[in-house]
Structure 1
Amino acid sequence: MEQKKNTILFVGLFSFLLGLVPMARAQIPQWEKCERFIEPTSEALLDPEPKGPVDVTADQVEVEKEGLSIFSGDVKFRRRGQWLDADEVLYNKPTNTVEAFGDVRYQDAMMDVISDSAKVNLETDVGVAENARYFLRDYHARGVAAEAEREGSVKTELQGATFTTCDIGDNAWQLKASQVSLDHEEGVGWARHARLKLWDVPILYAPFLRFPIDDRRKSGFLVPSVGSSSNSGVDISTPYYWNIAPDRDATITPRYLSERGPMLAGELRYLNPRNHGRILGSILPHDDKKGDYRGAFSYQHTGSPWSRWFTNLDINLVSDDTYFEDLGNSLSIASTTYLNNQLDVSYQGEGWYALGRFQSFQTIDRTIPGFSRPHQRLPQLLVDGYFPDQFLGLDFDFHGEVVNFQRDALPNGVRLDLWPTVSLPFRTPGTFFTPNIGVRDTRYFLDDTPPGTDNTLSRTLPIFSIDTGAIFERSLALWGSRLRQTLEPRAYYLYIPFENQEDFPVFDSAPLDFYFARLFQPNRFTGADRLNDANQLTLAVTTRLLQSSTGDELLRASIGQIQFFRDRKVTLPDFSEETDSSSAIIAEMAARLAPEWLLRGELRFDPHEERADLGTAELRYRGKGGSLLNMGYRFRRQLLEQVDISGRYPITKNWSVVGRWYHSIADDRLLEVLGGVEYDSCCWAIRLVGRSYITNIEGDRNNSVMVQLELKGLGNLGQNVESLLRRTVLGYGEQF
């Protein structure tokens, strides 16, 4: 038989069989708990791109006068990446048809298709297969069809079809339909009389079901979500996905809360070559518990309209001060105090950056007085520049800002802040020495000042610093490993003369939180309303243990302190001068105790009071099989002391427990508790979680029970428990 004819037979018949199972092109999830069914019978099938000549073997080949060619007895078509086996293959030249009979089996890298018989017209590419069984290897899907008919590359009709991702012999769930129509051009399918069975028990029926068969987005209803909470009662959501255009889509979600009433939420997304964004909104026309309208709106946009130009828009609005308490879904959201609204337009130059900003805030807690609310920036203009290795090796740095601060309560006005600096770095392979000198000029133009007070204020101060350090290194053997240890001493001297700034307004300045990196910064205040006076020396040292062969960091420990040579007179209102001769001692540490264990800690110790001001400790474990443990402790003297423990522990191969315990020791209050159990098998998983968390400062709680049934490869029923666990249990769902 001629090679050309063999190729026609092969490609024609099995392009037909290949097209019977379009789901193989869909996204491939992970199936780590499954056994691989129907393994490829040869490594030659693992080639994802079939190529090369076609080899045909058969026990007997007959060519009749009427143009009928008969291949019989263990017929094998072989091509690298594609195999076909059958008991008998007939080729009718006058009708240009190919028929295969008896244990017809097609294999490639993705799938295995077995049928009693198959027939295809090579001219029209129309064919039919009887009693077909298919197996998708990577997708771990299988099913049957009593009859499968395909009209070229356009349509496929399946009669008596099934689909599941469970192992052979385990039909935990199965989707059955009396008829399935697949439109390959549109990328959609229709199932008639579709039934979803769990352990052979029908739980869902749809007389007509529309679904995607490739990666193209399709409009349609998503899986409903059902849950319950003490705040809102039974919560039912039925999201509808609207594929508006290739660059736009939307999700519209009717929602019913049994104790509050009907609600509508929506999300619009767009993605263009030069911008992207999303709009979120929700409306509860009448809250039966509150007796009023409730709603929220959010819009985020990021773009680059021209080269080097960037835009960012962030708008957030809410109807009332308890919206997040009643309708939010986490402790952090429920404690939100302000909502940011901001428009940025920026330009990135060669070594410099410019930004224009309009910013305002919605104060959710209306009990906060006007003089304690943040100022709006209407507008803010900022320019930063850094030009290293210029004349004589000098580095030039510049910061400039002008802001118009406004709010209902005084003070208001414009602030201009200019801060040029120049430094001359000296570097060797093991040392550095960087003197730095700058001048910071800040001016105010205030509105509506009281009689007898200046409406213009200014402050001009020099800033001088020297930053120097070294890195020493040695090799050592420890725990049977070759390691490298570094010793990195560092000194930072800072001098800024004193200037009385008591008359200056406080628009955006506050004390900086003091941790290790702050030891080497020139100002202990945020913003520009206060510039500290300083004559001080920071002494610090860091040591590291590194794996010699890989460079991996096994241990890092740092400690440092500031020595003050004079009192610090610059303060904020309601703060007194600082007279201690030294700062608190700051220490931090991170240790990789083993590949699965990580320990981190930080301590701020006041040597004058001889007690710790602040401390954190965190222990993380990431084991095999998804086991994890997070243990955290944090305290801040006279403010908070908390313990946060969360984790997941596999009891067996399939069963695991998950939980979180978040407790405030300072006021003996349980901030959040979560406990659940999950069963995760090859093709399905179920998660049951109970949760309780505080929604406001008064201690009101929201209690809820959530259930999620995941049918892998099909979808989820119930609430998105997996998403909740990812937010509350650090490391949940990550691959280790």
Structure 2
Amino acid sequence: MAEGRFQETGRLRRRLLSMLLALLACGAGLVAQAAPAAAQLGDLDSDEPAAFTADEVNYDDVLGVVTARGNVEITQGTRILLADTVTYNLKTEVVTASGNVSLLEPGGEVVFAEYAELTDDLAEGFIRGLRVLMIDDSRMVGTTAVRTEANRTSVRNAVFTPCELCREHPERAPLWQLKADRVVHDKEERMIRYKNARLEFFGVPTFYTPYFDHPDPTVDKKSGFLGPSFGNSSFQGSYVDVPYFANFASNHDMTITPRLSTEQKLLLGIEHRILFEDGQILTRATGTRSDLQPDQGERLTNVFRGDIDQSARFDINDYFRAGWDLNRSTDKNYRRTFGFGDENRLTSRGFVEGFRGRNYLGANSFWYQTQRSGESDAEQVIALPTIDANYVSEPGVAGGYYTVDANVWNLTRLEGRDSKRASAITAWHLPYTSPMGDVYRFRIGVQSDIYWVDGHDPSNPDDVDPVEGDSFTVARAFPQVSLEWRYPWIGSVGESSQIIEPIAHAVLAPRFGQNDDIPNEDSVDFEFDDTNIFRPDRFTGRDLIDTGSRIDYGLQYTFVSPGGLFSQAFLGQSWRPVTEGVFAPESGLADNFSDYVGRVFLQPIPEFDLSYRFRADKDSLDLRRSEATLTAGVPAFRLSLTYLSVEGNEDFLEDDDSTGFPDREQIRLSVGSRLSTYWRGSIGATHDLVDDETRSVSASLYYQDECVLLGFNHTTEFTDNREVGNNSQFTFFLTLKHLGNVAGG
């Protein structure tokens, strides 16, 4: 083996590496994945030392040519160049490499060529038989690659694919590939242009365009059209979305999406994004003119319909932030009809909040818009404002600490009662673990409230807009002492562990009924279950208070094995000496002894999960509420079952459901399967067992491999939407790796 070490050869090594890297960047322009490789061109240090070896090195003094032959290897940093022959002409300053040329990049990309040539100043270059293997196994080939003006690189007869070739028949075309007669990368303009581009699936051309261009991988974003979306619905007919992306600045852009449909007029959607140094504002808005079927009255024609979602967040300093959320729609059915959402209520708010240590201070304002038929926006609560402050002290004597949770709100309605409240819950907590291992939590606290209420009827507290409302000023103070005790017993069963944990919770507090002069705004959705049985106050808010003394007790059992088996069960009940005027009859807490509440979770093997929560009548053990979720099976066949049963209010009337709620029982069944390595699908349905009606059905099918994702979804909802009746939607999407996606629905 011979080694050559002289000045010209050192320059040859560095320039040749730079040349091949530049041409690699040309090929990389076909895919975004190769962006790092393109960026590395400017980072190549021409002064970095290079190791050079070859079987033979000759220098022709007359011609001024240095020639290296046989197993030529040039290493510079982490780049390695291999070739059969490398020459450097000192007079013309041209570098050439031929015969099994390959360049290994630091990122793992490999460039192959039959022949490569480049001038010393990197302005002109040529590669024949170009092949590029990306780090993710994507491939690009071209017959020739030419570099001109130190700026433009052109690849002829380029072919790119990220798909793997069939191992048994590698001569077959891949699943998809992109071909072009010529691909030009303009580094100065940072653009890549294609001439006569064809997209092929299994070797069959499916899409052709004589010309298109896009920014190169060094461009973060640029104005231009995005991939279209297609769809069909009974209300809109067939439609197409053609989004246009407008880039105003690095921190400011907008996507404008017109929707053209066969049954309705033009719908325009806008997504606007702007970032600031300390915040951001994101806005989505849509609008059109179409027919409208209101809850009451005749169908309207050619009316403006639309919606807006806006979110803003700003950091004031290291501790405080502020912002708002704006969510509004012109009518209740707009979002469901046009496929923009199915919320039952839209919430808008503005806020300022601060965090410091374990303490919190926040001011919020809320504005609601109902999407439910039969409800009035005029009777929805408007909070202007609600202020919360939470303080937690440092641990003091014996580990005890103080908490203060204060709240002030002003609730108003366009039609109906108004309520102002100032409330504070001050408490002292003492946690303690005895030498025997039992755990105690002692708490003593007092809740103080004062209300100013206008337009409230105490005889009919559920009516927010009574015919005869009155004004009240009410104050109250509610002290409470509680002690929780847990004693976990841990034992072994072979290599498994089991924990038996009795739990008791005693509460001492004065007994008095709920004050009807205080409207219930924040404790409407009370549900007695295993999650709140041991809370000092089991209501969700402060308007209703859990008065009187009581004892809560329960038993929890946990079993864990090294093989993965995990199971847990809990059963609990509450007892109070006096019951008058505290909880509603259907709550499960109306009598001295409450209903039983519990949960069961079982996972004997990773392929089986069962969770069940319930509330059972204390006397008959009839189930008042049941929630069960079962998931079982292997990827080839996996079943999911969800069951919900809730006993209704005895006072419910079919023609006036404001006096209660009916029985509810439904089941949701879905089956999923990984049909093969690449295919998976699922089907599901929701059935109302009370009315014996199917509420929704759905089906999906997906294909995914290393270069493509294809999906189909179908959903039919049997709803009471007066505008469109039963709502059926079909969606599909196709994503090609590196090229983007096309979607529809």
Task: Tell whether the structures are fold-level matches, with TM greater than 0.5.
Answer: yes
Aligned-partner Cα distance in 2 for 1:14–1:454: 86
1:63 to 59, 68, 71: 59
Instruction: Give the Å deviation of 1:708.
Output: 2.6
Residue number in structure 2 paired with 1:683: 707
Q: Deviations over 1:338-385 (max 9, x none)?
A: 2111101012234321111111112334632579x4321111122111
Amino acid at match of 1:567: T
Q: Verify: 1:718 aligned to 2:743, yes or no.
A: yes
Q: Counterparts in 2 of 1:65-104, with a 5 A limit?
A: 65=61, 66-78=63-75, 81-104=78-101
TM-score by length of 1: 0.86
Q: Which structure 1 segments of 5+ residues have no match?
A: 30-47, 721-736
Amino acid at match of 1:434: R
Instruction: Give the Å deviation of 1:320.
Output: 1.0
1:163 to 146, 160, 164: 160
Q: Deviations over 1:236-286 (max 9, x none)?
A: 111222333222332211112222221111112234442234101001134
Q: Verify: 1:641 aligned to 2:651, yes or no.
A: no
Aligned-partner Cα distance in 1 for 2:414–2:692: 38
Instruction: Give the Å deviation of 1:571.
Output: 4.8
Secondary structure of the 2:115 match is strand
Greater mean alpha carbon deviation, residues 267-276 or residues 60-69: 267-276
Q: Is the 8 A contact 1:63 1:70 kept in 2?
A: yes
Secondary structure of the 2:266 match is strand
Aligned-partner Cα distance in 2 for 1:448–1:490: 44
Secondary structure of the 2:720 match is coil
Q: 1:11 to 1:597 in 2, by over 3 A?
A: farther
Q: Is the 8 A contact 2:527 2:587 kept in 1?
A: no
Q: Is the 8 A contact 2:15 2:122 kept in 1?
A: no
2:348 to 332, 341, 364: 341
Q: Is the 8 A contact 1:175 1:197 kept in 2?
A: yes
Q: Is the 8 A contact 2:565 2:604 kept in 1?
A: no
- Higher RCO, 1 or 2 (CA under 8 Å, sep at least 6)? 1
Secondary structure of the 1:367 match is coil
Q: Verify: 1:322 aligned to 2:333, yes or no.
A: yes
Amino acid at match of 1:398: V
Q: Is the 8 A contact 1:658 1:677 kept in 2?
A: yes
Q: Is the 8 A contact 1:76 1:84 kept in 2?
A: yes
Instruction: Give the Å deviation of 1:456.
Output: 1.0
Q: Is the 8 A contact 2:438 2:486 kept in 1?
A: yes
Instruction: Give the Å deviation of 1:99.
Output: 0.2
Length, aligned pairs only: 688
Instruction: Give the Å deviation of 1:49.
Output: 13
Amino acid at match of 2:358: G
Q: Verify: 1:417 aligned to 2:423, yes or no.
A: yes
Secondary structure of the 1:458 match is strand
Q: Is the 8 A contact 1:173 1:199 kept in 2?
A: yes
Residue number in structure 2 paired with 1:33: none
Residue number in structure 1 paired with 2:217: 214
Amino acid at match of 2:402: F
Q: 1:584 to 1:546 in 2, by over 3 A?
A: same
Q: Deviations over 1:185-208 (max 9, x none)?
A: 564312222222223333323333
Residue number in structure 2 paired with 1:383: 389
Identity among equivalent pairs (%): 25
Q: Counterparts in 2 of 1:440-455, with a 5 A limit?
A: 440-447=447-454, 455=472
Residue number in structure 2 paired with 1:497: 510
Q: Counterparts in 2 of 1:462-477, with a 5 A limit?
A: 462-477=479-494
Instruction: Give the Å deviation of 1:493.
Output: 1.1
Residue number in structure 2 paired with 1:265: 269
Residue number in structure 2 paired with 1:241: 245
Q: Counterparts in 2 of 1:47-446, with a 5 A limit?
A: 54-65=50-61, 66-78=63-75, 81-108=78-105, 109-138=107-136, 140-150=137-147, 154-168=151-165, 169-184=172-187, 187-214=190-217, 216-287=220-291, 291=301, 292-328=303-339, 333-334=341-342, 336-365=343-372, 367-369=374-376, 373-391=379-397, 393-428=399-434, 430-446=437-453
Residue number in structure 2 paired with 1:38: none
Q: Deviations over 1:110-139 (max 9, x none)?
A: 22222221011232353211121222131x
Q: Verify: 1:557 aligned to 2:569, yes or no.
A: yes
Instruction: Give the Å deviation of 1:300.
Output: 0.9
Q: Is the 8 A contact 2:14 2:50 kept in 1?
A: no
Amino acid at match of 1:652: S
Residue number in structure 2 paired with 1:657: 681
Aligned-partner Cα distance in 1 for 2:588–2:529: 20
Q: Verify: 1:533 aligned to 2:547, yes or no.
A: yes
Root-mean-square deviation (CA, aligned residues, Å) is: 3.2
Amino acid at match of 1:254: P
Instruction: Give the Å deviation of 1:80.
Output: 6.8
Greater mean alpha carbon deviation, residues 375-384 or residues 673-682: 673-682
Q: 1:643 to 1:277 in 2, by over 3 A?
A: farther
Residue number in structure 1 paired with 2:465: none
Aligned-partner Cα distance in 2 for 1:50–1:648: 57
Q: Which structure 2 segments of 5+ residues have no match?
A: 35-43, 166-171, 294-299, 458-467, 649-662
Q: Is the 8 A contact 2:198 2:209 kept in 1?
A: yes
Q: Deviations over 1:406-449 (max 9, x none)?
A: 01333213111121111222224732212211111111122357
Instruction: Give the Å deviation of 1:547.
Output: 4.8
Aligned-partner Cα distance in 2 for 1:717–1:453: 60
Q: Counterparts in 2 of 1:587-606, with a 5 A limit?
A: 587-606=598-617
Q: 1:254 to 1:580 in 2, by over 3 A?
A: same
Q: 1:578 to 1:682 in 2, by over 3 A?
A: closer
Residue number in structure 1 paired with 2:698: 674
Secondary structure of the 1:696 match is coil
Aligned-partner Cα distance in 1 for 2:429–2:671: 49
Instruction: Give the Å deviation of 1:152.
Output: 8.3
